[in-house]
Each structure stands twice: as structure tokens, then as C-alpha cells.
Chain A
Amino acid sequence: MKKKWYDYLWIGELLYWVLGLCNILFAWLGMLFFTIPLLVALIGGSKAYCNRYCGRGQLLSLLGQKLSRNAPPPRFLRTRWFRYSFLAFFMVMFGLMLRSTYMVFAGAPLRQAVTLLWVFKLPWNWAQVDMVAPWIAQFAFGFYGVMLTSTVLGLVTMALFRPRSWCVYCPMGTMTQGVCMLKQKKEDGGCGGEGQKDCGAAAASRQ
């Protein structure tokens, strides 16, 4: 199958990490990975970002060809309660990151560290952040930590299970699917009245 331009977006994902290592302020670019999927879901009502344009998913697929056990993931990973709980947990952690950004904005000292897996503080003293306000740098440290944590989780589940196992519980994937379900429900007037589970079937029969 002939490759399209978007099949190379994994390079953008790699570039993000390299740029972030060179200067932590590039972490702000990660906001694109948050906002684009949401906008696609909210405006387009689809998961086209996950399906085609997700550089992280592509990277995990590529790495998984060599490094994955290709084993089926545990069943709980795909259950609705786990996926939405993980999304909620991730949002709380994101909120705490925003809070620490605000604290620095309000006068607290900048903490030059990237937090991995919500616990481990990695010193990041080489970062040149003098050219911006401290809160801008604090957000970059926090956001790079969020991205690093999710990438590490993605790599671990890629190795243990199937290459794109991260996609099963990716908070953005869960959120955008939730948005699409709500949009579908609204358009179908409840998808035939049998609840959310039939929204896909209603959509399929319409096309």
C-alpha cells in the first residue's frame, strides 16, 4: 500500500522529544496533540486524528514490530470504567500541573524538574528558560512530564501487549470517543432509544 504524507507523522513525535530535550519550552508544542484531536472530534465528529494522524500511535506501531510481545491485553484495560477512570485521573494530574503553573505565576519559585509517572522528579537544570516568564517555563516542565509519563506507559504496554495498546486507554482517545458518542447520540436522537452502545450501529446503518 502506497504511503501517504500522514504516515510519516511519527517523525513529528520524535522531533518533539528531541526539541524538548534541547529546550524545554518546546514542550508547549505538545498542546497541539491535545487540541487537534479534540477539535476534530468536536467539529468533525470523528476520531480521524487517532485513525490517521496520531504520531505516537504510528511510532508505537513501528517500534512494536520489533519490540512487542503481541499478546492480547488484559480485559480490564478496555472496559469503560477503567478507561474513564484513567481519563479522570489524568485530568486531575493535568489540573494539578496547571495549579503549580498558577502558583509560579503568583510568585512561587520555578521548579526546574520534569515529573515522571507522577512521582519521580527528574532534575532538568540545563534548561535555558530565562527568556520567558517563569510560569511559562513551569507549564513547559509540567507538560513535558505529562507527555513523558504517557509515552513511558505507552512503551511499556507496547512491549507487554500489542503495539498500540496505549490507544486502548489513551485519555485523548477516550475523550474524543466520548465526544463522538455524545454527538452521535444528539444527531440520532438517542440512537434508537437503546442507549449509547447502539450509536455506532445507528451511524453505520445511516451511511
Chain B
Amino acid sequence: MALSKRLARVGRECVACGTCMKVCPRSAIRVVSGVIARVDGMLCVGCGRCAKVCPADVIGIVERGEEA
């Protein structure tokens, strides 16, 4: 399957609450070692659901290639 043009990017101020994980339809985002949420670029379709629910407002949707 072709990759989407956009994907989610998590900011450094992530509080690792895991709210984003619960709404991701592709299980593309998960909290790593209780420190920060990370996005699997191969799975993320950039739908923005995680960004809408993030209580810390640290998730943005960016063009692929700009996520680093």
C-alpha cells in the first residue's frame, strides 16, 4: 500500500499518557518505555485523530519527510 502524504509527529513535551494510542485506527502510535509516544511512519495515514485528542496538544500532522 502506498504511504500517505502526511503523518503525525509527536513533540518533545509529550507526557506519555497514551490517549493517542486509544484512538489510532491503525495502531500506528504507541508510548515507548513510558517516556514518549512514537509514530510508526509505515502505518500512520495522517488522519489526525491522535492530534485532536492529545491533552498536551503536542501532536501535529506534517508532510512526510518533515517529521524528523
Contact = CB atoms under 8 A, between A and B. Distances in A.
Contact of B55 (A161, A176, A201): A161
23 contacts: A45-B33, A46-B31, A47-B18, A47-B31, A50-B16, A51-B16, A52-B18, A78-B15, A78-B56, A162-B57, A163-B55, A164-B53, A164-B55, A168-B17, A173-B16, A174-B15, A180-B35, A184-B33, A184-B35, A200-B35, A200-B38, A201-B38, A204-B38
Nearest to B53: A162
Interface of B: 12-19, 21, 31-36, 38, 52-58
Chain A interface, DSSP helix/strand/loop, else mixed? helix
Interface in A174-207: 174, 176-177, 179-181, 183-184, 197, 199-201, 203-204, 207
Interface residues of A, number: 43
A45 B25 CA distance: 26
Contacts of A61: 19
B19 A167 contact: yes
Contacts of B13: 78-80
A107 interface: no
Chain A CB within 10 A, most for which of B17, B34, B36: B34
